[in-house]
Amino acid sequence: MKIGVVTFPGSLDDRDAARAVRAAGADVVTLWHGDRDLHGVDAVVLPGGFSYGDYLRCGAIARFAPVMDVLVPAAQGGLPVLGICNGFQVLCESHLLPGALIRNDHRKFNCVDQVLRVENASTTWTSAYAAGQEITIPLKNGEGGFVADEATLDRLEGEGRVVVRYVGANPNGSHRKIAGITNDRGNVVGLMPHPEHAIEPGYGPSTDGLDFFASALASLEQVVSA
């Protein structure tokens, strides 16, 4: 199984994302923002960082990178895509996911080990978890406040599309303490916390993040064997 990791100018966590993909047992294909094809990958990770310096709005310029011209229709067609932090912002700017991420309500950059509850364990990227399971992975951002209008929030809740939710105090002012969401097919997932930083004992607060990548691998293998 080949999982692509996209590097934009200013991406920061692409190496860690690639490492997590390998740790889960998949092959990594490095994709460049200027690539106009996806090199036959079975899934894509959009990593964290500050693409294009976060100029204009986080993810706003990355959304129009050449690689996104091929990624957006592929994701709409069912290709599994995981957006982490800046990757989540890119997915919202691309309208692959609803809502937007704005500056933290307390105006400070936040870097903590964050407890999350997995609300939806049936997406391509969370099937290895149990619904209701609590996990602890790093959260680090300045603009992580998830916002959407009430109708969109109600729809996300009603359709079970809230994937992970913050446990305890709201770390950034996100509406309804939403940390991550999915599209209606469950193949596109975006979240602000960083599963790729919690995959190996001794590095990070836990190994709870590895199952995001293991979930995708299991889903892809299931498709092949079906």
Partner 1 sequence: MGSIVVDVMLKPEILDPQGQAVAGALPRLGIEGFTDVRQGKRFVLTVEGEVTDEHLAHARQAAETLLSNPVIEDVVAVHALDATAPTEGDA
Q: Which residues bind partner 1 (CB under 8 A)?
A: 56-57, 60-61, 64, 92-93, 98-100, 102-107, 145, 147-149, 173
Residue of 33, 85, 93, 197 with catalytic role: 85
187/11 Cα distance (integer angstroms)? 22
Residue of 33, 92, 194, 197 with catalytic role: 194
Residue of 93, 119, 143, 196 with catalytic role: 196
Measured from the CB of residue 71, what is the shortest distance to partner 1 in angstroms? 18
Measured from the CB of residue 152, what is the shortest distance to partner 1 in angstroms? 9
194: annotated active-site residue: yes
Smaller CB separation from partner 1, 51 or 104: 104
Measured from the CB of residue 107, what is the shortest distance to partner 1 in angstroms? 5
Strands 2-7 and 27-32: parallel
Q: Which two tokens stand for residue 198?
A: 């919690």
92: annotated active-site residue: no
C-alpha distance from residue 200 to each of 14, 16, 22, 62, 116 (Å) = 17, 11, 12, 30, 18
Smaller CB separation from partner 1, 36 or 107: 107
Helix intervals (H) in the chain: 14-24, 66-76, 86-93, 150-158, 210-225
Residue 72, φ and ψ in degrees, nearest 5: -60, -50
* Tokens 């469950």 found at: 186
Measured from the CB of residue 104, what is the shortest distance to partner 1 in angstroms? 7
Measured from the CB of residue 48, what is the shortest distance to partner 1 in angstroms? 19
Smaller CB separation from partner 1, 88 or 129: 88
Contact 192, 144 (CB under 8 A): yes
Smaller CB separation from partner 1, 64 or 203: 64
From 82, 49, 77, 48, select the one nearest 214 (Cα to Cα): 82
200: annotated active-site residue: no
Written as one string, the DSSP assignment of 39-72 is TT-SEEEE--B-GGGG-SSTTTTGGGSHHHHHHH
Smaller CB separation from partner 1, 104 or 136: 104
- CB-based burial of residue 76 (10 Å sphere; 0-12 exposed, 13-18 middle, 19+ buried)? middle
Instruction: List active site positions.
Output: 85, 194, 196
